[in-house]
Structure formats: C-alpha cells, structure tokens
A and B are shown apart, each in its own frame.
Chain A
Amino acid sequence: MEKRTDKNSYTLLFAIAMSVIVGTVLAFTAQVLKSKIDENRRMEKQQNILYAMGVNENTGENDVVMIPTNKVSDAFKKYIVKQIVIQGDKITDNDKAYLIDLKTEQESAKKAGYQRRLPLFIGKKDGKTYYIVPVRGKGLWDAIWGYVALDNNMVVQGAFFDHKGETPGLGANITQRYFVDDFKGEHVLDKNGNFKGITVLKGNNDPLNKDKNDNEIDALAGATITSNGVTSMLKNELKLYEPYFKNLNKK
C-alpha cells in the first residue's frame, strides 16, 4: 500500500507549507535584527576610519585593536573634524559621508553621465591633519577595502585594510600589522609630484621597506593576486582624489 507521505498532493502541500514557514521565520529574524546589524556596521566603519589615522588601542607590536564600540561614537566626533563629499568640482560638507557605500558608487560610476561621489574624512590629532580616503577593490576571491590616511602631500600616515574572503594565512594577512605598517610614510606621488600610486610587489630588495620614496611596498609571500589587488585598488581610488590634494596645496 502506498504510504500517505508518498502521495503527490501531500508532497506538494508539504513543500508549500515548508517554504512559507521557513520564509516567514527567516524574514522575521532578519527584520528584527536589522537595526542591530546596521548599528554594528556603522560602528565598524567609524572604528576603521579612526584606526587609519592612528586612533586605536594597540599595545603590542602585532596588535590590531580598534577603539572599543562604547567609545567609538564620541571619539569619532572628537577626531573627525569634517566629512566632505567630492563630486566633480563640487565639494559639499556631509556628516553622513562615512555611510556612503563605495560599492554602489563604483557600480553607478560605470553608467554614462554619473559623477561619482567621493567621500573624504578630515581628522585632527595632536595638531596634525589627516585626510582619510576610503578605498575598495578586488582581491583574489572577493572584495578588499580599507582606509588610507594621507597628509596634504599625499604621504601615507596610516592605513587599514580588510577583506571579505582572502585565503587565511596568505592573502588574509593584508590586515596584519607587518603589512599595513609598511605603508606609513610611503609616498603616493613620485619625486616630480606626479601621481604614481603605491605598488605592492615582491623582489624590490627592500623587504623592511626602508626606502619610503620608491612608491613600493614589499608584497605578501604566496599572495600575489591579493597584493596586485591592493596595488590597483590604491592606484585607481587614490587617483580620483589627486585633484583635491592639488587644489589643497594651491591655497
């Protein structure tokens, strides 16, 4: 005899009921937790921006410790004195600039007639001014992104990198101090003041990165594609800000 659960009608009903129940449960969970998740993302952005300009709680030489979440909002208000959005020649103040999603901007910029919005955060710490540029690019498996703090001559003062899914132990090491700290003091412009970017490569005979004017950083072993991704991310994204820095120094 055929079992009740073998009938086609039963199977169909079961499938429909299951989809509805599971769908409802998932949608409900997502909706309930959405505000909390958005809040976490927002705080993470603030933490990362502050990290790039040197506001962090690192103690050991390999630490990457962000400022704690309960202090981040106040610290962000204290250190980030101005947030601007550059769109072509137009520069507007916008204290929500850090929430601009680079991914959507990059996508929209491919369409004709769209002028990409470029957020820039200006921070002040111990009398020094930092211009923090958000960057985003492609690694080996997925997106990589970060924040680069520059001074008015486009010399790197600090950086922060993160990734979505680079290989653990290889490309994922772009978050590590021994990689990130190499960027400090590195020039983005060449000796004549033209834009050159920073190239991440192996075999430049400068593994400890003593030469800060060569526009080169020693790459990660075994992570060539991620390293190349960092190079092109910095070249493409920082280039967009070059006119801003040129204007800055004319004044």
Chain B
Amino acid sequence: MGLLTKKDIALIKDPLFDNNPITVQVLGICSALAITAKLEAAIVMAISVMFVLALGNVIISLMRNIIPSKIRIIVQLVVAAALVIIVDLVLKAYAYNLSKTLSVFVGLIITNCIIMGRFEAFALANTPWKSFLDGIGNAAGYGIILVIVAFFRELLGTGALFGHQVLGDPIKKTGLYALGYENNGFMLLAPMALIVLGIVIWVQRSKNPKLIEENK
C-alpha cells in the first residue's frame, strides 16, 4: 500500500472537478468575486486559503471528539481566525511585501465559507490525515476556479496578465489597440465575475450531465 490509498486520492481529486467547492457546492463565491480582478491576487489568495484550510482541518479533526457540539461553529470560527492572524503576523515580519499584497484578503479568508463548510462537513467527522487531504483538495479546487476567472477578467479588463501588458499598450495604442481594440473596464467589476463564473459552471455541467439537478 502506498502513501495514498484510492480513497485518499479521491479526496483530493473530487473537489477539483465533480465536487468543486465553488461551482458545485457553491461555497466561497464572495471571495471569488472580490479578488479575481487580477491573476496575482487570485493565486496568492488560493495559496493562503490552502494553508489555512489544510491546517485548520487537521486541528478541528484532532479536537473532533472534545468539541462541545453546542458551540462547535464558534470553535471553528476561532480556529480559522487565529490561524489567519498568525499567518498575517508572520508574513508581516518575514515577508513584508507579500503581506502588503495580501492585506485586504486576510480578512476575507476568515469569512470564506469554504473554510467553515469543510470544518463542519468533513473535519468534524474524519481523521486528521483525511481532513488534511480534503483541505488540500478543496483549496485546490477553489484555486483553479479563481485562476480561471481571474485570467479572463485581467486579460479582457486590463489587457494584462500578472500585470504585464500582453495585448500592447492601451495608452500609446500599440499591438491590438492599434486595430481599435479597447479594454472592457466592466470586466473588472464584480458583476462580470459572477457572469464568468456562471459560464464556467455552464461549461462544466454540459460536459458532465450528472451534475444537473432535475427540475420538479
């Protein structure tokens, strides 16, 4: 038996596609709208969420037998918030520039429904190792969608990827802009993130009809 059993692999793979936290479980939409205007921010957010979710899942899972069920949501919230604050402090001390990029998103991590959702739905009922894998898988699934949405928003909204102008210079009118192309500023606003996300969900469901709920 290897390090990862078939079930373990499924824990990581499922949330990437068929049980994606954003497009299928519809968790974490709020942050997916807020921070996908730039690819860089989306990736930083995805990594931070992965850290907090994997570690938080392990902590909750270790405590799953001693957490009083009446206040379990509060306990989960405290764990998530404490982790986020520690990460923030460590970054401020040792990776100051990175922490500046992250600044606004740190608060968003605490409110990310994926974190609470996975604590409640998975970590409370499973062993630490499984919970760890579940955390990695779900955070990766979240990250993939974030990156896809951010790619289109940054490209169509500002003509750049990772802050580098790839379609030419919009002010000096070179490259594509010489042909009369214009950036669509609307792409940078939250409504367009929702529409891009909707298109992603549409594509996913038409490829995998199992995901379509029956209308009664």
The 6 closest A-B pairs by CB, nearest first: A169-B37, A11-B68, A36-B93, A33-B93, A165-B104, A40-B96
Contact of B68 with A5 in the complex, beta carbons under 8 Å? yes
Task: Give the distance to chain B from A97, nearest Cβ to Cβ, in Å.
Answer: 22
**Interface SS majority for chain A:** helix
- With contacts A11-B68, A26-B86 taken as known, whether A169 is within 8 angstroms of B93 at the C-beta atoms is no
Q: Which residue of B lies closest to A207 (CB)?
A: B171
Among A14-22, A126-134, A188-196, A233-241, which stretch is in contact with chain B? A14-22
Contact of A221 with B68 in the complex, beta carbons under 8 Å? no
- With contacts A11-B70, A167-B37, A169-B157 taken as known, whether A36 is within 8 angstroms of B86 at the C-beta atoms is no
Contact of A36 with B94 in the complex, beta carbons under 8 Å? yes
Contact of A6 with B by CB under 8 A: yes
Contact of B82 with A167 in the complex, beta carbons under 8 Å? no
Contact partners of B78 in chain A: CB under 8 A: 18-19, 22
Q: Which residues of A contact B (CB under 8 A)?
A: 3, 5-6, 10-11, 14-15, 18-19, 22, 25-26, 29-30, 33, 36-37, 40, 44, 141, 164-165, 167-170, 178, 207-208, 221-222
Contact of A222 with B96 in the complex, beta carbons under 8 Å? no
Contact of B20 with A by CB under 8 A: no
Task: Give the distance to chain B from A83, nearest Cβ to Cβ, in Å.
Answer: 23
Contact of A14 with B188 in the complex, beta carbons under 8 Å? no
Q: Which residue of A lies closest to B185 (CB)?
A: A222
Task: Give the distance to chain B from A17, nearest Cβ to Cβ, in Å.
Answer: 10
Contact of B71 with A by CB under 8 A: yes
Contact of A15 with B71 in the complex, beta carbons under 8 Å? yes
Contact of B71 with A167 in the complex, beta carbons under 8 Å? no
Q: How many residues of B contact A (CB 8 A)?
A: 33
Cβ 8 A contact of B69, one of A6, A30, A141, A168: A6
User: Contact mask B137-154 → A, CB, 8 Å, 1/0?
Assistant: 000000000000000011
Task: Give the distance to chain A from B128, nearest Cβ to Cβ, in Å.
Answer: 18
Docked complex Cα distance between A22 and B78 (Å) = 8
Contact of A165 with B171 in the complex, beta carbons under 8 Å? no
- With contacts A22-B82, A168-B38 taken as known, whether A14 is within 8 angstroms of B68 at the C-beta atoms is yes
Contact of B188 with A167 in the complex, beta carbons under 8 Å? yes
Docked complex Cα distance between A169 and B38 (Å) = 7
Docked complex Cα distance between A112 and B74 (Å) = 44
Docked complex Cα distance between A61 and B104 (Å) = 27
Contact of A11 with B89 in the complex, beta carbons under 8 Å? no
Cβ 8 A contact of B188, one of A30, A165, A222: A222
Q: Which residue of B lies closest to A162 (CB)?
A: B100
Contact of B35 with A by CB under 8 A: yes
- With contacts A44-B96, A164-B103 taken as known, whether A37 is within 8 angstroms of B89 at the C-beta atoms is yes
Docked complex Cα distance between A33 and B96 (Å) = 12
Contact of A5 with B66 in the complex, beta carbons under 8 Å? yes
Contact of B67 with A by CB under 8 A: yes
Contact of B158 with A by CB under 8 A: yes
